[in-house]
């Protein structure tokens, strides 16, 4: 009888902690992706800024100033495109994470429902 209780407890603990382990793994994986994304974004924004500073330091006269200001519009357009692309990538990552979490939660609900439906059957067998 004690063995049955221990087996039931072990199975219950496994059922309870398995979704948490999956969620934790999913969370860590998502944090790695997000960190890589942010580091790459910071690097590219810093490179863009440094490039603009270098171009500004090359201004020596009115002609170079004119070409520098003309190039600023292109640079700002490229920066805006990068920002929009990054925002979309972040949104896609968030939606993917949400979908994966919902999958883990649905799996946990199904597992809990399956466990709950087998318990009455187990009790009725032991009563007989």
pLDDT per residue as tens digits for the range 32-51: 999 999 999 999 999 999 99
What's the distance, Cα to Cα, between the start and end of the chain in Å? 15
Q: Phi and psi dihedrals of 119, rounded to 5?
A: -65, -50
pLDDT digits (tens, 9 = 90+) for 65-117: 999 999 998 999 999 999 999 999 999 999 999 999 999 989 888 877 776 77
Q: Which residue has the higher pLDDT, 118 or 103?
A: 103
CA distance 90 to 97: 11
């Amino acid at each position: 009888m004690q063995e049955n209780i221990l087996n039931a407890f072990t199975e219950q603990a496994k059922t309870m902690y398995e979704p948490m382990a999956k969620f934790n793994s999913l969370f860590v994986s998502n944090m790695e992706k997000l960190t890589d994304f942010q580091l790459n974004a910071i690097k590219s924004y810093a490179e863009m800024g440094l490039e603009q500073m270098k171009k500004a330091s090359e201004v020596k006269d009115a002609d170079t100033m004119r070409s520098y200001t003309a190039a600023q519009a292109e640079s700002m357009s490229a920066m805006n495109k990068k920002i929009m692309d990054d925002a979309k990538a972040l949104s896609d990552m968030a939606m993917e994470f949400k979908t994966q979490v919902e999958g883990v939660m649905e799996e946990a609900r199904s597992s809990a429902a399956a466990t709950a439906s087998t318990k009455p059957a187990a009790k009725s067998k032991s009563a007989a």
